[in-house]
Amino acid sequence: MSYTELRLSAAIFLIPYNNFKRDGHFHRFIAEDEKLRQDLEKVEQLESKIKTELSDLQSKIEQMNEDMVVYQNTDEQKTEAEALKQVCLAIRSRCL
């Protein structure tokens, strides 16, 4: 390919770009690209917050499940509390 043919093909290639740039489409696409990047950043921040919140909720669920095992047997807890109360009363009566 000769130098003139190269320049001609480059000019043909650049015609749509120059028209695009002159018509203001270029600036609109740049602005839209920036807006989309900002939106993506916001979505990524929200995703991070959601993952953190989900992790916190999973920890709370695990703790609640452990607590349910402890509090399921209320009769046994009442018995233990009554025994502890009797011990405390006995100690108190000895101290007075």
What is the total count of domains within the chain? Answer: 1
Q: pTM above 0.85? A: no
CA distance 21 to 52: 44
- Per the structure, the complete domain to which residue 65 belongs is given by 3-95
In one letter, which amino acid is 7? R
Q: According to the model, what pLDDT value does residue 4 have?
A: 65
Residues 58 and 66 sit within 8 Å (Cβ to Cβ): no
* DSSP, res 17: H
CA angle 96, 88, 67 (to 5 degrees): 155
pLDDT along the chain (96 residues), means of 10: 61 57 67 89 95 97 89 84 89 81
Q: How far is CA 18 from CA 11, 34, 39, 58, in A?
A: 10, 21, 29, 56
